[in-house]
């Protein structure tokens, strides 16, 4: 009798853990997926800009090449940020989070506005003036 009770309890616990805990998978709207895609692209662009800056500082790039490539990345980034905003606006998603100064583009942690790098992952943050 005790064994039966234990077995029933174990079974109930297992059912609870494996059936009740997982939340129903939320289907993402096309706008949300689009936004995630654009946010990934934004992260890549920020990484590229950082790498470019690093290579310039190490003397691997001439000043001319650096300025040229930086301008291209920044142009791309500006376009991307604009796209992100319009996607968020048309879908009714909050837009203030996108423009928020101090929000890490990589891990989305909020940092103090005067931080130049993310306190959590070390990624460069968007400074109010534009370039670091
Ligand atoms: Zn971060």
The answer, yes or no, to whether residue 84 has pLDDT greater than 70, is yes
pLDDT at 85 (0 to 100): 86
Residues at Cβ < 5 Å from ligand 1 ion? 104, 106-107, 109, 118, 120-121, 123
Residues 92 and 68 occupy one common structural domain: yes
Residues 95 and 37 occupy one common structural domain: yes
pTM: 0.51
Residues 65 and 127 occupy one common structural domain: no
Q: What is the pLDDT of residues 105-120, one digit of tens each?
A: 888 888 887 788 888 8
State how many domains the chain has. 2
pLDDT at 102 (0 to 100): 76
In the block, which residue shows the tokens 């800009």? Answer: 49
CA atoms 72, 73, 74, 77: torsion sign: positive
The answer, yes or no, to whether residue 99 has pLDDT greater than 70, is no
Residue 50 inside a domain? The answer is yes
Q: What is the pLDDT of residues 21-71, one digit of tens each?
A: 666 677 888 888 888 899 999 999 999 999 999 999 999 999 999 999 999
What is the 104 CA–ligand 1 centroid distance (Å)?
A: 5
**Buried-exposed string 4-18: b where 16+ CB fall within 10 A, e elsewhere:** eeeeeeeeeeeeeee
61: DSSP letter: S
What is the 117 CA–ligand 1 centroid distance (Å)?
A: 8
Residues 44 and 54 occupy one common structural domain: yes
Residues 79 and 36 occupy one common structural domain: yes
| Weakest-pLDDT range from 73-77, 80-84, 86-90, 119-123 | 86-90
Residues 55 and 89 occupy one common structural domain: yes
Distances (CA, A) of 46 to 29, 125, 127: 26, 9, 12
Residues 88 and 35 occupy one common structural domain: yes
What's the number of CA atoms in the CB half-sphere (13 Å) around residue 124?
18
pLDDT at 49 (0 to 100): 92
| Distance from C-alpha of 17 to C-alpha of 61, rounded to nearest angstrom | 56
């Amino acid at each position: 009798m005790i064994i039966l009770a234990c077995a029933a309890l174990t079974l109930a616990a297992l059912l609870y853990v494996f059936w009740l805990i997982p939340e129903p998978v939320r289907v993402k709207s096309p706008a949300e997926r689009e936004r995630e895609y654009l946010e990934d692209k934004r992260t890549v662009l920020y990484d590229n800009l950082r790498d470019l800056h690093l290579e310039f500082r190490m003397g691997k790039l001439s000043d001319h090449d650096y300025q040229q490539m930086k301008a291209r990345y920044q142009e791309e980034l500006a376009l991307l940020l604009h796209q992100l905003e319009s996607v968020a606006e048309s879908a009714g998603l909050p837009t203030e989070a996108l423009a928020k100064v101090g929000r890490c583009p990589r891990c989305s942690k909020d940092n103090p506005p005067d931080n130049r790098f993310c306190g959590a992952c070390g990624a460069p943050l968007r400074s109010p003036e534009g370039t670091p």
